[in-house]
Chain A
Amino acid sequence: MTTDTLHRPDAAASATASGDDTQVLVTLTVADQLCGIPVLAVRDILGEQVITRIPLAPPEIAGSLNLRGRIVTAIDLRRRLQLPPAPQDQTRMSVVAEQGGELYALLVDSVSEVLSLDGSLFERNPPTLEKTWARFSTGIFRLDGRLLVVLDVARLLALAGED
Chain B
Amino acid sequence: MDDLLADFLTETNESLAELDVALVTLERTPDDADTLSCIFRMVHTIKGTCGFLGLPRLERVAHAGENILGKLRDRSLTVTPVIVSQVLAAIDAIKAIVTALSTTGSEPPGDESALIAELNATANGAPHSEPALTQAINDATDKQIPEEATAPTPDAARPVADDAVPKAVGTNPSAPQAGIPAAAQTIRVTVDVLENLMTLVSELVLTRNQLLQLARTQENSAFTVPLQRLSHITSDLQEGVMKTRMQPIGNAWNKLPRLVRDLSHDMGKKIELTMIGADTELDRQVLELIKDPLTHMIRNSGDHGLETPAERRAAGKPETGSIVLNAYHEGGYIILEISDDGRGLSVERIRAKALSSGLATEAELAAMTDSQIQRFIFRAGLSTAATVSSVSGRGVGMDVVKTNIEKIGGTIDLKSSAGEGTVFTVRIPLTLAIVSALIVEAGKERFAIPQLSVVELVRASRGSDKAAGGNTSVIERINDTPVLRLRSRLLPLVSLTELLELGTEDQGETTAHVVVAQVGQQIMGIIVDRVFDTEEIVVKPVAPILRHVTMFSGNTILGDGSVIMILDPNGIARASSVSAGTESKLLRHTVIEAQTTTDKTAMLLFRTGGSQRMAVPLGLVARLEDIPRAKIELSCGAPVTQYRGRLMPLIAIDGSLDTGRPTQPLLVFAEGDRTMGLMVDEIVDVVEDTLEIELGGVRPGLLGTAVIGGEATDVLDTGYWLMQAWEDWFRGAPRKGKADDQRHVLLVDDSDFFRQLMIPTLGAAGFRVTAVGSAAEALRLRESGALFDAIVSDIEMPNMDGLEFARTLRAGGPWAKLPLFALTAHADLQHSAIGRDAGFTDFVGKFEREALLACLRACMAETVAA
Contact = CB atoms under 8 A, between A and B. Distances in A.
A1 B445 contact: no
B547 A160 contact: yes
B195 to A, nearest CB: 15
A55 B501 contact: yes
| Interface majority SS (helix, strand, loop, mixed), chain B | mixed
Given A61-B545, A66-B557, A69-B203, A56 B551 contact: yes
Most A-side CB within 10 Å, residue of B207, B555, B565: B565
A57 B546 contact: yes
B549 interface: yes
Interface residues of A, number: 22
Interface in A36-59: 50, 52-58
A64 interface: yes
A32 interface: no
Given A64-B563, A69-B206, A71-B555, A56 B544 contact: no
A52 B546 contact: no
A53 B565 CA distance: 9
B192 to A, nearest CB: 15
A94 interface: no
B471 to A, nearest CB: 33
A100 B562 contact: no
B54 interface: no
B772 interface: no
Interface residues of B, number: 26
Nearest to B546: A57
Contacts of A69: 203, 206-207, 557
Contact of A55 (B445, B543, B562): B445
Given A55-B501, A69-B203, A69-B206, A64 B555 contact: yes
A29 to B, nearest CB: 25
B551 A1 contact: no
A65 interface: yes
B545 A52 contact: no
Interface in B206-235: 206-207
A61 B562 contact: no
A54 B207 contact: no
B545 A73 contact: yes
A80 B565 CA distance: 23
Contact of A160 (B206, B207, B544, B562): B544
A55 B561 contact: no
B565 A52 contact: yes
Contacts of A102: 543-544
A106 to B, nearest CB: 13
Contacts, number: 63
Interface in A8-55: 50, 52-55
A147 interface: no
A141 interface: no
B853 interface: no
B297 interface: no
A71 B563 contact: yes
Contacts of B540: 71
Contacts of B501: 55-56
A88 B443 CA distance: 19
B549 A57 contact: yes
Contacts of B557: 66, 69, 71
A1 B213 CA distance: 12
Contacts of A56: 500-501, 549, 551
A154 interface: no
A95 to B, nearest CB: 16
B55 interface: no
Most B-side CB within 10 Å, residue of A1, A52, A63, A104: A52
A159 interface: yes
B545 A65 contact: no
Contacts of B551: 55-56
A1 B558 CA distance: 12
Contacts of A104: 543
Contact of A52 (B500, B547, B564): B564
Interface string A93-123: 0000000101010000000000000000000
A11 B547 CA distance: 32
A104 B543 CA distance: 9
B833 interface: no
B423 to A, nearest CB: 37
A64 B206 CA distance: 17
Contacts of B502: 55
B561 A66 contact: yes
Contacts of B549: 54-57
A160 B546 CA distance: 8
Given A56-B501, A71-B557, A66 B562 contact: yes
A1 B562 CA distance: 9
A52 B448 CA distance: 13
Contacts of A73: 543, 545-546
A1 B544 contact: no
Contacts of A160: 544-545, 547
A61 B663 CA distance: 49
Contacts of A61: 545-546
Interface string B528-572: 000000000000100111110101100111000111110000000
22 contacts: A50-B561, A50-B562, A52-B445, A52-B562, A52-B564, A54-B552, A55-B445, A55-B502, A56-B500, A56-B551, A57-B545, A61-B545, A64-B563, A65-B563, A66-B561, A66-B563, A69-B203, A71-B556, A73-B545, A100-B544, A160-B545, A160-B547
Interface of B: 203, 206-207, 443, 445-446, 500-502, 540, 543-547, 549, 551-552, 555-557, 561-565
Given A61-B545, A73-B543, 17 more contacts: A1-B561, A55-B501, A55-B502, A55-B551, A61-B546, A63-B563, A64-B555, A64-B563, A66-B562, A66-B563, A69-B206, A69-B557, A71-B555, A73-B546, A100-B544, A102-B543, A160-B544
